[in-house]
A and B are shown apart, each in its own frame.
Chain A
Amino acid sequence: MLRRQFLGLLGATAACAALGKPAQAAGTKHFAGYPGSNGVLFDATRCIGCRRCEAGCNQVNGLPAPDRPFDDLSVLDQKRRTNAKSYTVVNRYDNIPGAAGPVYRKTQCNHCLEPACASACFVAAFTKTPQGAVTWDETVCVGCRYCMIACPFEIPTYEYNEPLTPRVMKCTMCYPQITSGKLRVPGCVGACPTEALVYGSRAELLQVARERFHAHPGRYINQIYGEREMGGTNWLYISGVPFREIGLREDLGVTPAPELTSGALAAVPIVASVWPVLLLGIYAVSKARDRVAKEETKAAVAAAVAKAQAEAQTKLAKTKADAEAQMKTAIEREVKKALEEAAQGPTEGGE
Chain B
Amino acid sequence: MSHENPAVKKTWFTPFNMVVGFILLVGAVITILRFTKGLGAVTNLDDNNPWGIWISFDLLCGVALAAGGYTTSAACYVFGLKRYHSAVRPAILTAFLGYALVVFALHYDVGRPWRLPYPFFVQSGPTSVLFEVGLCVFLYLNVLFLEWSPSALEWLGYKKLRNVIVKLTLGLTIFGVILSTMHQSSLGALYLIAPSKLHPLWYSSYLPVFFFVSSIAAGLSMVIFEGTLSHRYMHHKMDETYLSEHDGVTLGFAKAASLVLAGYFFIKVVGLALDNNWHYLLTGYGLWYLVELLGFVALPAFLYAMSVREQNLKLVRWGAVLTVLGIVLNRFNVSQVAFNWHLPSAARYFPSWMEVAISIFVVTVGLVIFRFITTNMPIFYEHPEFKEHEPVELTEHELKPHPQSF
- A residues with CB within 8 A of B: 4, 8, 19, 21, 81-84, 116, 118-125, 140-146, 148-150, 152, 154, 156-166, 249, 251-253, 257-258, 260-265, 267-268, 271-272, 275-276, 279-280, 282-283, 286-287, 289-290
A134 to B128, CA, bound (A): 17
Q: Which of B80, B122, B177 contacts A289 (CB 8 A)?
A: B80
Knowing A143-B111, A146-B130, A267-B208, say if A166 contacts B47 (CB, 8 Å): no
B182 in complex: contacting residue of A116, A156, A268, CB < 8 Å: A268
Interface residue B50 (Cβ < 8 Å from any Cβ of A): yes
Of the listed stretches B190-198, B230-238, B247-255, B277-285, name the one at the interface; the rest are far from the partner chain. Answer: B190-198
Q: Is B110 located at the chain interface by the 8 A CB criterion? A: yes
Out of A122, A148, A260, name the residue touching B192 (CB < 8 Å).
A260
How many B residues are at the interface, by size bracket? 35 or more
By a beta-carbon cutoff of 8 Å, the part of chain B in contact with chain A is: 34-41, 43, 45-48, 50-51, 74, 77-80, 109-113, 115-116, 118-119, 122-132, 134, 170-171, 174, 177-178, 181-182, 185-186, 189-197, 205, 208
Q: Quick one: which of B110, B116, B196 contacts A249, CB cutoff 8 A? A: B196
Alpha-carbon gap, A77 to B169, bound state (A): 65
CA distance A250 to B339 in the complex (A): 18
The CB with the most chain A CB atoms within 10 A, among B79, B116, B178, is that of B178
The 6 A-B residue pairs whose C-beta atoms are closest, nearest first, are: A143-B111, A286-B80, A160-B40, A145-B50, A124-B125, A122-B131
- Docked complex Cα distance between A141 and B170 (Å): 38
CA distance A165 to B110 in the complex (A): 10
User: Is A142 a contact of B111 with CB atoms below 8 Å?
Assistant: yes
In the bound complex, CA of A122 to CA of B177 (Å): 23
- Can you report 17 residue pairs joining A to B where beta carbons are below 8 Å apart? A4-B171, A122-B128, A125-B123, A143-B112, A144-B130, A145-B50, A150-B194, A165-B112, A260-B195, A261-B129, A261-B189, A261-B193, A262-B127, A265-B126, A265-B129, A271-B178, A287-B80
Q: Give which listed residue, A21, A83, A159, contacts B127 with CB less than 8 A.
A: A21
Most buried by A among B174, B177, B208: B174
Contact residues in A for B193 (Cβ distance below 8 Å):
116, 119-120, 149-150, 257, 260-261
Query: In the complex, what's the smallest C-beta–C-beta distance from B126 to chain A, in angstroms?
Result: 6
Residues B192 and A144 in contact, CB atoms below 8 Å apart: no
Nearest B residue to A251 by beta-carbon distance?
A: B196
* A154 to B343 CA separation, bound complex (whole angstroms): 11
Task: Kindly state the separation between the CA atoms of A82 and B119 in the bound complex, as whole angstroms.
Answer: 28
Measured in the bound complex, the distance between the Cα atoms of B186 and A159 in whole Å is: 27
CB distance from A27 to the nearest CB of B (A): 15
Cβ contact within 8 Å between B126 and A166: no
Tell me, in angstroms, the Cα distance from A67 to B395 when the chains sit together: 75
CA distance A6 to B400 in the complex (A): 37
Could you tell me if B208 and A283 are in contact, using CB atoms closer than 8 angstroms?
A: no
Measured CA separation A201–B65 after assembly (Å): 51
Q: In the bound complex, what is the Cα–Cα distance between A89 and B303 (angstroms)?
A: 54
Task: Known pairs A123-B119, A142-B115, A145-B111; list 6 more (Cβ under 8 Å).
Answer: A121-B130, A143-B112, A149-B190, A152-B194, A260-B192, A264-B129
Which of B79, B178, B186, B205 touches A276 (beta carbons < 8 Å)?
A: B178
Find out whether the CB atom of B118 lies under 8 angstroms from the CB atom of A163: no
**B129 touches which one: A120, A143, A165 (CB < 8 A)?**
A120
Contact B208 A264 (CB under 8 A): yes
- Evaluate whether A140 and B123 lie within 8 angstroms (CB atoms) in the complex, with A81-B48, A148-B50, A163-B35 already known: yes
CB distance from B62 to the nearest CB of A (A): 16
CB distance from B80 to the nearest CB of A (A): 3
In the complex the two chains form, is B192's CB within 8 Å of A264's CB?
Answer: yes
Contact A122 B194 (CB under 8 A): no
What does DSSP make chain B's interface, helix, strand, loop or mixed?
helix
**With A and B bound together, what is the CA distance between A18 and B172 in angstroms?**
22
B130 near A264 with CB under 8 A, answer no
Quote the shortest CB–CB distance from A110 to chain B (angstroms): 13
With contacts A264-B185, A280-B174, A287-B80 taken as known, whether A141 is within 8 angstroms of B111 at the C-beta atoms is yes
A275 to B129, CA, bound (A): 20
Bound CA–CA A123/B41 (angstroms): 26
Q: Which residues of B contact A252 (CB under 8 A)?
A: 196
Among A121, A141, A161, A258, point to the contact of B40 (Cβ < 8 A): A161
Of all chain A residues, which has the CB nearest B77? A283
> Does the CB pair A149–B127 fall under 8 Å?
no
Q: How far is the CA of A152 from the CA of B192 in the complex (A)?
A: 12
Closest residue of chain A to B181 (Cβ to Cβ) is A271
A210 to B125, CA, bound (A): 38
Residue of B nearest to A163 (CB): B38
Given A21-B127, A264-B189, residue A283 in contact with residue B170 (CB < 8 A): yes
**With contacts A123-B122, A289-B80 known, is A160 near B178, CB below 8 A?**
no
Cβ of B77: which chain A residues have Cβ within 8 Å of it? 283
* B119–A271 CB distance below 8 A: no
Partner of B47, one of A143, A158, A162, A249: A158
Known pairs A116-B193, A252-B196, A272-B182; A162 contacts B79 (CB<8 A): no
> Which residue of B34, B40, B185 has the most chain A CB atoms within 10 A of its CB atom?
B40
Nearest to A143 among chain B residues (CB) is B111
CB of B270, distance to nearest CB on chain A (Å) = 17
Known: A164-B35, A272-B178. A81 touches B47 (CB 8 A): yes
Chain A residues with Cβ below 8 Å from B131 are 122
Q: Which residue of B lies closest to A156 (CB)?
A: B47
CB pair B130 A120 closer than 8 Å: yes
CB contacts (< 8 Å) of A81 on chain B: these are 47-48
Q: Assess the A275–B174 pair: CB atoms within 8 A.
A: yes
Which of A142, A154, A159, A261 is close to B118, meaning CB atoms less than 8 Å apart?
Answer: A142
Instruction: Give the residue name and chain of the A residue nearest to B33 (CB).
Output: A163
Chain A min CB distance to B140 (Å): 13
Establish whether residues A166 and B127, one from each chain, have CB atoms under 8 Å apart when the complex forms. Answer: no
Report how far A251 CA is from B113 CA in the complex, Å.
36
Q: Which residues of A contact B126 (CB under 8 A)?
A: 19, 21, 265
In whole angstroms, what is the CA distance A84 to B74 when docked? 47
Measured between alpha carbons, how far is A166 from B84 in the docked complex, in Å? 48
B50/A149 in contact, CB under 8 A: yes
A119 touches B47 (CB 8 A): no
Query: Are A154 and B48 within 8 A (Cβ)?
Result: yes
- Beta-carbon nearest neighbor of B112 in chain A: A143
| A-chain residues with CB within 8 Å of residue B190 when the two chains form the complex | 146, 149
CA distance A146 to B110 in the complex (A): 10
Question: Which chain B residues lie closer than 8 Å to A124 at the CB level?
Answer: 123-125, 127-128
Name the one of A142, A251, A265 contacting B112, with C-beta atoms under 8 angstroms: A142
Q: Which residue of A lies closest to B344 (CB)?
A: A79
CA–CA, A146 and B51, complex, Å = 8
Q: Are A275 and B181 in contact (CB under 8 A)?
A: yes
Asked if B125 and A121 make an inter-chain contact with CB atoms under 8 angstroms apart, the answer reads: yes
